[in-house]
Structure 1
Amino acid sequence: MERQVSADSERGRGADGPWTHGHAVVDDVRLHYVAAGDEDDPLVVLLHGFPDFWNSWRDQIPALADAGYRVVAPDMRGYNRSEKPHGVEAYRVERLVGDVAGLVEYFGREQAHVVGHDWGGIVAWETASRRPEVVEKLAVLNAPHFGRYREVLRDSPEQRRRSWYAAAFQIPWLPETLLGAFECAGIGALLRATADPDTFSEADLRRYREAICRPGALTAALNYYRALARDGLREEIGALLGRERPPREVPVPTQIIWGEADSALVVEQTENLERWVPDLRVERLPGVTHWVQKEAPEEVTELLAAFFAE
C-alpha cells in the first residue's frame, strides 16, 4: 500500500522541555511528535512501547540533539495525542512500519537511525526487515525479534510464564476494564510492578495515566497485541498451506541494549540472533529492568551516540 504523507504540521515549542511539538499526517493518521536538534543533522526516530508515549525518551531527546542529531519521538498511532483509528486491523505491524517510513519521508530524509523500546522495538525490528532502505542503523531496547521470540517461547517455560499478559490482552473489553478503572490506576500499578522502586515518581505515573486514559487510547494500545496475534495466526495458517513466511533478516547494522532484570522477557532473547541479524552487537546491563532508558539514561544515550557515530 502506498503511504500518503501530508506536509501539514502544527508546531509549537514545548513548555515541558527543550523540544518542539508538532503533528504529521501519515496515511491519513495524524501523529503527534516531539522534536529537537538542528533540522540539517542526521535523523533519529525514537519509538516508545506499551503503555508509554513520547515521554519515554525525555532523557535521550535533548542529549542526542546535543550530540548532533535531529531527534523525533512520536506518539505512536493510538497513543496519547496521536490519532486513534478504530479497529484491530488499523494496528497491524505493516501499518506501524508504514508510519515509521512515512515519518522519515515527512522529515525530508531517505534514511534514519531507528530506535525502539518494547513495542516500539518490535516495530523497529520489522521496519528494518521490511523497509531496510529507510533504516541507516537499528537500535532495540528490551524488545524481542519475532523469530527468536517464537523459539524461546517454545523452549522456555519461564518465558511462557512471563508472557501470560499477552494472551490475557486478547480478551475483549476485560483488559480495558481492569487497567482503565479508577482513572487508569491499573496502568500505574503495572509500571510500578515492572520497574525499580525509584524509576517512576508520582508525577511520572500521573502523566502516564493521563496519556493512556485519553478516549480510545487504552483500547488502541491493546489492539497492538491483538493485531499481532492475528498476524501470527495468519502466518501459521500460511505455513500449513505451504506459503513461504516473510523474511526475517535484518540487513542493517544493529545494536541491542538489554536490561537483564526484565520481568517480562528472559535474557535468552538476545542470544542466537546472528542468522537473522548478521551485523549485530549486544550490550547487556545487569540489574536494570525493562525500563532501561529510564533506569540507565546516560549509559543508554552514550551507547546510542557511539553506535550512530561509527
Structure 2
Amino acid sequence: MMHEKWVEAAGTRTRYFDIGLGDTVIVFLHGGLFSDEGVCHNALVFEQSLPGFAAAGLRVVAFDALGHGRSAAPTSDADCSVPGLVAHAEAVIGALRLGSVHLAGHDEGGLVGLRLAFKSPQLLRSCVIIAGRAVVPAGDPLSNLTLAAPLQPRYGRAAQAWVLERQSHSQHHIHAGNFLEEAVAIAADDAFRGLRARIEAGDLLRRYMRPSLGRARLDNWKRFREDGVPVPTLLVWGGNDPICPVQNARSLFGLMAAKQRITQLHLIGRAGYLPFREQAPSFNEILGGFVRALEQTRSAKAA
C-alpha cells in the first residue's frame, strides 16, 4: 500500500511516499511545470510502477516537487525555477537521509535529476530521464500543438483527462488507480488556487521558470561536450510519444553517450509520454535491470 508521509525539507513541507526495503533506493520525481499544461502532476503519477519495484526488493521514494501536488509552495518567487526545484530535491534526499540514490525523473523531473547530478554527483548513483522533453535539444513545439485549445474549466476532471489522453498512446491508464482523482482534488484545493493566482499575477513562469529552463539547457550542452554527465545515465522513452518523439531521444543519447560510457536508451512500444503508466511491467523491467546491474558492479568493486 502507498501511504502518504510528510517531511520538512529546507523549510518546505513535502509529501512523499516510501515503500519497500533495502539499501538500494530509487527516488522518483514527476514533472509538471507548476501544472501549466493543465494536469496537477504529483507523486501518484508513478503509482503503477512503485509497488513492483518494492516487491523486487528495492526501496522506492516518490515525492511531490516544490509547489506541486500537496507540497508547499515556494516562499520566494525566484524559486519557481529549475534551481528552486533542484534545491528542493536535494533537500528532500538529505532530510530523508537516503544517502546516494538512483534518481528517476519524468520530463522536468529528469532535468532536475540531471542538474542535481552536475551539482552534487555524490548524491546520485545514476540519473534516469523518462520522456525528457525538458532535456532534449529540440524543445517542445509538438507539445504546443498537441495540447492546444484545452477544455474548460481548465483543471476540471474532463480537462485533465483530455490532456492525459493527448499525451498517451495507450489510454487505459488514465482512469486506473488514484492519480487522476488526486489531480482533480489538488486542483480544488485552496493552496493550489492560491499558487496559480500568484504565478499568473506575477507572470512567474515567464520571469523565472522559462528563462531558467533555457539556461539549464545551454549549460547541459556545454557540460555534455566538455566533461559529460558524471553518473551512469538511462533514457527511457515511449516509442509512440506524441509530445517528445523518439528522434529527440536519439539525439540526446548521442550527446550524452559521447562522454559518459554507461549511457543507455530504451524505447517502450505502445507507450507515449507516460511509459511508466502505459506499460508499467516493461518500464519496471528496464529500470530494474539497469539499477541491479549497477549495484552488482558497485558490490564487485567494494569486495
Shorter-chain TM-score: what band?
A: 0.7 to 0.9
Give the superposition deviation at 1:94: 1.4
* Secondary structure of the structure 1 residue equivalent to 2:69: coil
TM-score w.r.t. the length of structure 2 is: 0.77
Contact 2:31 2:108 in 1 (8 A): yes
Counterpart residue number, 1:59: 48
For residue 234 of structure 1, report the CA deviation from its aligned partner: 5.9
Which of 153, 163, 167 is the matching residue for 1:190?
163
2:151–2:158 CA contact under 8 A, matched in 1: no
Change in 2 beyond 3 A, CA 1:21/1:204:
closer
Residue 292 (structure 2) pairs with residue 282 (structure 1)? no
> 1:86-125 counterparts in 2 under 5 A?
88-125=77-114
Aligned twin of 1:269: 248
Retained in 2: the 8 A contact 1:125–1:145? no
2:23–2:59 CA contact under 8 A, matched in 1: yes
Give the SS at the match of 1:83.
Answer: coil
- 1:1-310 maps to which residues of 2 (within 5 A)? 18-38=1-21, 40-50=22-32, 51=39, 52-85=41-74, 88-144=77-133, 146=135, 149-150=136-137, 152-153=138-139, 160-163=141-144, 179-180=154-155, 183=156, 185-195=158-168, 196-201=170-175, 204-217=179-192, 219=196, 226=206, 227-232=208-213, 247-248=223-224, 249-271=228-250, 272-273=254-255, 274-275=257-258, 277-310=260-293
TM-superposition CA deviations, 1:203-233 (whole Å, max 9, x none)? 6533322223323436389989543312256
What is the percent sequence identity of the aligned residues? 20
Please give the alpha-carbon distance, in whole angstroms, between the structure 1 residues aligned to 2:161 and 2:151.
14
Query: What SS does structure 1 have at the residue aligned with 2:88?
Result: helix
Structure 1 alignment gaps of length 5 or more: 1-17, 154-158, 169-173
Q: What is the CA distance between 1:33 and its match in structure 2?
A: 0.4
Per the TM alignment, residue 309 of structure 1 is displaced from its structure 2 partner at its CA by: 0.9
Task: Read off the aligned partner of 1:186 and give its amino acid letter.
Answer: A
Between Structure 1 and Structure 2, how many residues are aligned? 271
Instruction: Measure the CA separation in 1 of the matches of 2:222 and 2:13.
Output: 29
Q: How far did 1:286 drift?
A: 2.4
Letter of the 1:33 counterpart: Y
Q: Which moved more, 1:281-290 or 1:267-276?
A: 267-276
With the length of structure 1 as denominator, give the TM-score of the two structures: 0.75
Give, as a single letter, the amino acid of the residue that structure 1 aligns with 2:128: A
For residues 186 and 108 of structure 1, do their structure 2 counterparts lie closer, same or farther at Cα, with a shift above 3 Å needed?
same
Which residue of structure 2 lines up, in the alignment, with residue 4 of structure 1?
none
Segments of 4+ in structure 1 off by > 6 A?
174-177, 220-224, 243-246
State the 1:130 CA deviation: 2.3
Q: Which amino acid aligns with 1:208?
A: A
Q: Distance in 2 between matches of 1:27 and 1:76?
A: 13
> SS of the residue aligned with 1:179?
coil
After superposition, the Cα gap between the structure-2 partners of 1:145 and 1:258, relative to the gap in structure 1 and judged at 3 Å, is: same
Question: Helix, strand or coil: the match of 2:223?
Answer: coil
Deviation, structure 1 residue 306: 1.1
CA 21–289 in structure 1, closer or farther in 2 if over 3 Å, else same: same
